[in-house]
Each structure stands twice: as structure tokens, then as C-alpha cells.
Amino acid sequence: MLSTLLASDVVAPFSSPKIDYHALAPELVLAGVIVAVLLADLFLEESKKWVLSTIAGFGLLAAFIPIVTLAVSGHRARSMFGGAYVVDTYSLLVKGIFLLAGYVVVLLSQNYLEEGDYYQGEYYFLLLSSILGMVMMGSSRDLVTIFVSLEFLSIPAYMLAAWRKRDLKSNEAGTKYYLLGVFASAVMLYGMSLLYGDTGTTILKGIGAKLQNGSMSPVAVLGIVFVIIGFAFKVSAVPFHNWAPDTYQGAPTPITAFLSVASKAAGFVALINLIYVAFPHGGDVFQPMIGVMAASTMTLGNVMALRQTNIVRMLAYSSISQGGFILMPLAVAGGKSSGNALTAIVTYLAVYAATNLGLFAVIIAVSRKTRSGEVSSWGGLFSYAPLLGVLATAFLASLAGIPPLGGWVAKFGAFRAVITSGTNWGYALAIVGAVNSVIAFGYYGSLMREIWMKPVPDGDTAPIRTPSSLNAALMICGGATLALGVVPGIILRFSDIIKL
């Protein structure tokens, strides 16, 4: 499958007046699964609600099958709805990341919901709806479809963040996420209206053609700035990050994992679509803005993470910092290193998804025993749960960028992109990134020390029993993290051929 997709050239999209149902199969299958979950929830008895997680999980895998068939068949880029929706190798790759990440989140959620006595039907309905919005975002090449996809993925996420409705922290998490999300959407929509007013089109390619003469009007410049601000909130970039720590800590842990990986990835995919298709000649506008955000996001995220004693808040600031590393290549997009930048971003998203989801799987497993989210509760983890201790260390080392795990490939790609840009701006970002990589090891290393060197806080060395769904998630994420580091060609060759 990989070799066939790699061999397929991404040519100019072939515009068809008809709907290509094969190209839309992932979205159609996912929509059918959402309906199936909703209907099953109406007729199943409470004792059989566990079936819903099975339907959701197999449904996500079923939606992945058309992506494989499109790749095997030598899929050619297809443009539908007047260029507003494009299915190409790039969109297939990011859709695959979303679907597989969603599948792991379902595995993380299964026992969490059953043991917490939460409503399962509504939960999986909202989760699948949000994933459908992300899948749609991968193919969106129009301001309207981008906005619809964003709201499709965001509105269910607002409700999922406040899922523990009897918990004040969960209510606070959902409220903050909702209020700041609505404000960011309004700013972004205003920017889109300015771009439409200046260019007379909502199609991204049309906007790019209108803005290529090098003399952008102040209206277009302001539109670009507002649109980037709107998506900067989605990826929790500084100074639009304030919602993330409280939301991550208050939301159910599987949803925190979902927001930190899949939701963040969708925001970056939207930024890629806009910068590479609509603003390829707007580097003078977006490059300094994104560069400053990348440097400040890395630095503030790492410094704040050093001060945290709660592991979820630590990972919230870690997620902010990792977003800064992903923004680094975007800051030099549009120049001679555009190809390297696109490869670096997609690679980073894939590696980060596997690593961070795996670490959250360990958090869920450990908290089943400790009933605590404090870093100190991980003391002596290796002594009574050696496999979890090794996996947690591997995921932390990957986030820190230590070979031979996947994180080093992601960070290497990001640094390569900014250095090969040949600009002083790129060199400065590389220096800031290198310093922050050292700082980040401070809190990743402190958690490793708790696992290996500190005593068990309460002396309870009873082994941790993990359900089969968590074991499956740990196996998938651990295998992917190791494979992407040992055999980086798996993802590097795959992402090198994508073009927009």
C-alpha cells in the first residue's frame, strides 16, 4: 500500500462535475457509523452499552479501508464542488492520522466510561462527529468548507470537555474552551470575510491567484492576520494558549488526549491548507507572525511545564511547547524550504500523535491504581509495573527527541526545515528550538526520575491491572513510536511526496 501511494504522482487536481463517492468514502463510512451508534444507543439495554465502543472502534477502522484502497488503486487527486473539496495524497495521509488517532482514543475511553458510569451513546456520537470534522478538514480547500469543518470538530469537543458535569473543574474546562473558542472563531470568520471582500472568492486557489502580484492591500493583510489568529487558538499557540491547561486538567483524560493530539493536528492541517494554497505569496505577512509565535510558544510552554506538579497540567504545557516546534517549519513556509517544511509538519503530527496518546494511555493505567494526578504518585512505578515504567520512559524520551525513538525524527525534520531556509530568521528559530529542547528535558527527566529512582509514595507495590483495551492502545502507540524512530523512512518517504 505504501509503495503504491508513494509512486503515485500528485498532479493538478482533476475537476469533476460529479461527486466521486469513492474519494468521499471515508467521510460517508464515518457518517454511517455515527448514525449506527445513535440508533444502537436507542435500542440497547444499559447492560449492553459496551457494544457502542465496539461499533465506534470498528467503524473508524472501516473508514480507514477506503483510504487504503484509494492508495492501492494509484489514486489521482480529485477536485469536487468547484475546487472546494480536494482528495489527494496529502489529504489521505492526514485523514489516516485522524482516524487512527480516533481509534486509539476509543480504546482509551472504553473502560473509563464504563467504570465512571457515563452516558456512552452520546459520548461516542460526539467523538465520532468531531473526528468527521477533522477528516473533512483534510480535504477542505475553501474558506467556507474550512469554517464548517472547524465548527463540526469544535462544537462536540466543547461538550466533551465538560462531560463530567458534576465536576466543577470539568464545567470550568468546558466553559473556558467554549467561550475562548467562540471568540477565536469570530475573529477568524471576520478575517475570512475580509479576504472574500478583497479577492471576490472563497476558493483557496483563487485567493492565492489574486494575492500573487506581490502588492497586497491592507484589507488582505488584515484578513490573513485574523485568520491565523483564529487557528492559533486551535493549536494553543502563545498568546492564545490560556484555555489549554485548565481545559486539559478538567476534561476526562481520554478527551484530554484527544484535544492534545487530534484536535491540535486539525488546526495545523487548516493552517497548512491556508498558507500553502491561499497565502503562498504572503510570506512577508505570516512568516514573522508565526515565527514569533513559535519562539514564544516553545519557551513559555517549557518554562511553565517546569513548575507543574500535576502530570496532566505538565503535559498541557508540554503540548503547548510541542505546538511551538510544529510552528517552526510553518514560519519558513513559502520560501525555498517549503517542501522540507511540509514534510516536517506532517511527520511531526504523526509522531506526536503516537507518542502523546501512548503517554496518556499510561496515565490512565497508573491513575486506576493511584487515584492521583500528581507527579509524585508515579514514584517507583518501575518497581511494581515494569512494563508501564518502560513504556512511559520511552514516550517521555520520544517527546524529548532522544534517539532511537520517533521524537528525534520529528525534531530533526523541524530543525532541517528552518536551517535549510537559509535565512537569519530560520537560524534564530533553530537556536531557540535547540535551547528549548534542553529545557524540555528538565521536566521529562524529572518524571523519568520519579519512575526509576524514587520510592513508592504509600508503599503499595501491588501490580496494576490494565484492561485489554488499554493494553491494545499501549501496544499500538509503543510500536509506532519505536518504529518511526528506528525506521524513519516509513514516514519520511511517505510525506516527502505530498504536495499542495
pLDDT in tens, 401-460: 888 888 888 998 899 888 988 778 788 999 999 999 999 999 999 999 999 988 888 767
Cell of 272: 497548512
Strands 78-80 and 85-87 turn out to be antiparallel
Helix axes 311-330, 264-273, angle to 10 degrees: 10
Residue 134: per-residue pLDDT? 94
Average pLDDT, the chain: 86
Task: Write down the residue that cell numbers 524550504 correspond to.
Answer: 337
Higher-confidence residue: 46 or 15? Answer: 46
Residue 3: per-residue pLDDT? 36
The average pLDDT across 377-406 equals 91
The average pLDDT across 368-377 equals 84
Residue 95: per-residue pLDDT? 92
Tell which residue, 258, 270, 272, 271, has the closest CA to residue 130: 258
The average pLDDT across 4-18 equals 41
pLDDT 10s digits, 60-119: 999 999 988 887 776 577 778 888 888 888 888 899 999 999 999 999 998 888 776 678
Residue 105 burial (CB count, 10 A): 26
The average pLDDT across 156-181 equals 86
Tell which residue, 34, 334, 126, 283, has the closest CA to residue 118: 126
Higher-confidence residue: 294 or 284? Answer: 294
The average pLDDT across 357-384 equals 88
CA 421 vs. chain centroid, Å, equals 25
- Confidence at 499, pLDDT banded by 50, 70, 90: low
pLDDT of 329 strictly over 60 = yes
pLDDT 10s digits, 206-251: 898 888 755 678 899 999 999 999 999 888 898 888 888 888 888 8
Question: Quick one: 489 exposed, middle or buried, by C-beta within 10 A (0-12, 13-18, 19+)?
Answer: exposed
Residue 78: per-residue pLDDT? 79
Residue 288 burial (CB count, 10 A): 12
Q: What sign does the CA torsion over 254, 271, 59, 88 have? A: negative
> Contact 180/193 with Cβ under 8 angstroms?
no
pLDDT 10s digits, 449-492: 999 988 888 767 778 888 899 999 999 999 999 988 888 777 66
The average pLDDT across 3-17 equals 39
Residue 241 burial (CB count, 10 A): 26
- Confidence at 8, pLDDT banded by 50, 70, 90: very low
pLDDT of 11 strictly over 80 = no
**Is pTM, for the whole model, over 0.85?**
yes
